[in-house]
Amino acid sequence: MDLLSPLLEKKLASTLSFPPDLAATWLADGVLQLIPQESKSSTLIISAGIHGNETAPIEILLRLLAQLVQGHLSLQHNLLLILGNVPAMRESKRYIDNDLNRMFGGRYQNFPSGNETQRAVELESVIQRFFQEPAVIASTRRWHLDLHTAIRGSCHEQFALLPFQQREYAPELLQWLDGSDIDAMVFHKSEGGTFSQFTSQYFNVDSCTMEIGKVYPFGQNDLTKFSNITAALQNLITGTFSVKRQKPEIKRYRVADSIIKQDNSFRLHIPQDTKNFTALSDGFEIASQENQSWKIASPANFILFPNANVAIGLRAGLLLEQII
Ligand SMILES: [Zn+2]
């Protein structure tokens, strides 16, 4: 069942008809609420395509949706499926005007009005509406998995980013991430404008951003590379979680410092193709701008998401330390 063409042609909502035991409501373009007739104590949000060119998660989400429509997956949660930035998907772009995943928690106000600011407003209100559903209010467990792929190569191909939160991370979520066979987890130490931060902070959801591989155009993804994630998501949806870890022990990191680009003098002193989680030597000047320089200081030796081409005021990289 091909759902990608209907999505890109704005025909997804009219294409689908659901089994009678699922109450389906489109809350916005690309945002589908599915509430099982039999009440569930658990709520799950799965989002993909917050960056429009990150196609593998979109294809995986559409595959899960097709299986739900066909009755091949028995839904054990109140579920919200979100295709994040549909206009950017149609243009095979990360975003049209600005990076949507920096705008949540009201930060859209700091950006000129455009496609993504409108979508951030819409997604925030959609989440609010979803959590006002009686079935969802009653649920005792709330998870949000925001699926992404990375622009660059990575020493750890698949990893999760846990938003900053003052309460403890849910052991069940960490266990599921471990079982899903991803390679690493990264814990944020301060609030950011990501979608997973928003649901965690404002709705007490156990949330994370998952980076599951590398960016390729639609149709060029080798979906077998994502079989561990797909299986873990299918198991989660059906409540039959049985995935066992096959890979070596998962690595854990925490964010030690954020490199923020403040003006046009900003430079990153590493090659363009530096992989995520590359270990850098003590004392190495990784970035500089007019009145500031960042030098590597142990134990924060690892670079994540280095990108000098971000807008001024935004994050151009994270320095991580490994948690032993
Ligand atoms: Zn992304």
Q: Are residue 221 and residue 303 in the same domain, yes or no?
A: no
Which residues span the domain enclosing 262? 257-323
The CA-atom distances, in angstroms, between 221 and each of 56, 61, 231 are: 6, 14, 17
Q: Is 51 annotated as a binding residue?
A: yes
Residue 245 within any structural domain of the chain: no
Is pLDDT of 320 > 70? yes
Strands 315-323 and 285-289: unpaired
Residues linked to residue 26 through DSSP beta bridges, in sequence order = 32
C-alpha of 147 from chain center? 4
What whole-number percentage of the chain has pLDDT above 70?
Answer: 99
Residue pLDDT, tens place only, 198-211: 999 999 999 999 99
Residue 305 within any structural domain of the chain: yes
Q: Are residue 83 and residue 200 in the same domain, yes or no?
A: yes
Instruction: Render 107-128 in DSSP notation, one character per residue.
Output: GGGGS-SSHHHHHHHHHHHHHH
Write the CB contacts of 57 (distance below 8 Å, at least 6 apart in sequence).
48, 49, 147, 148, 149, 212
Residue 288 within any structural domain of the chain: yes
Contact (CB, 8 A) for 281 and 306: no
Q: Are residue 296 and residue 188 in the same domain, yes or no?
A: no
**Helix (H), strand (E) at residue 292:** strand 292-295
Strands 285-289 and 292-295: antiparallel
Residue 228 within any structural domain of the chain: yes
Number of H helices, E strands in the chain: 9, 15
Q: What is the DSSP letter of 318?
A: E
Q: What's the structural domain count of the chain?
A: 2
Residue 234 is encoded by which pair of tokens?
Answer: 């299918």
The CA-atom distances, in angstroms, between 74 and each of 40, 71, 142, 211, 220 are: 12, 7, 18, 26, 29
Residue 89 within any structural domain of the chain: yes
Residue pLDDT, tens place only, 255-267: 999 999 999 999 9
Q: Are residue 159 and residue 282 in the same domain, yes or no?
A: no
Domain-ending residue, one of 211, 238, 265: 238
Domain-ending residue, one of 203, 238, 273: 238
Q: Are residue 15 and residue 65 in the same domain, yes or no?
A: yes
Q: Are residue 181 and residue 291 in the same domain, yes or no?
A: no
Q: Are residue 219 and residue 263 in the same domain, yes or no?
A: no
315: CA distance to ligand 1 center in Å? Answer: 14
Is pLDDT of 64 > 80? yes
Domain-ending residue, one of 207, 238, 269: 238
Residue 79 is encoded by which pair of tokens?
Answer: 């579920």
Q: Are residue 198 and residue 284 in the same domain, yes or no?
A: no
Is pLDDT of 104 > 70? yes
> Which amino acid makes up residue 27?
L
Residue 269 within any structural domain of the chain: yes
Q: Are residue 282 and residue 233 in the same domain, yes or no?
A: no
CATH number for the domain that contains residue 314: 2.40.50.630
Helix/strand/coil for 255: strand
Q: Which residues are catalytic?
A: 211
Sheet of 285-289, strands arranged across: 267-268, 285-289, 292-295
210: CA distance to ligand 1 center in Å? Answer: 9
Residue 21 within any structural domain of the chain: yes
CATH number for the domain that contains residue 27: 3.40.630.10
Q: Are residue 91 and residue 204 in the same domain, yes or no?
A: yes
pLDDT of residue 244: 76
Q: How confident is the model at residue 220 (pLDDT cuts 50, 70, 90)?
A: confident
135: CA distance to ligand 1 center in Å? Answer: 30
Write the CB contacts of 231 (distance below 8 Å, at least 6 apart in sequence).
243
54: CA distance to ligand 1 center in Å? Answer: 6
147: CA distance to ligand 1 center in Å? Answer: 8
Q: Is 156 annotated as a binding residue?
A: no
32-57 mean pLDDT: 96
Q: Are residue 58 and residue 175 in the same domain, yes or no?
A: yes
Contact (CB, 8 A) for 268 and 287: yes
Q: Are residue 228 and residue 96 in the same domain, yes or no?
A: yes
Residue pLDDT, tens place only, 2-23: 899 999 998 999 999 999 999 9
Contact (CB, 8 A) for 279 and 301: yes
Is pLDDT of 243 > 70? no
Residue 159 within any structural domain of the chain: yes
pLDDT of residue 152: 87
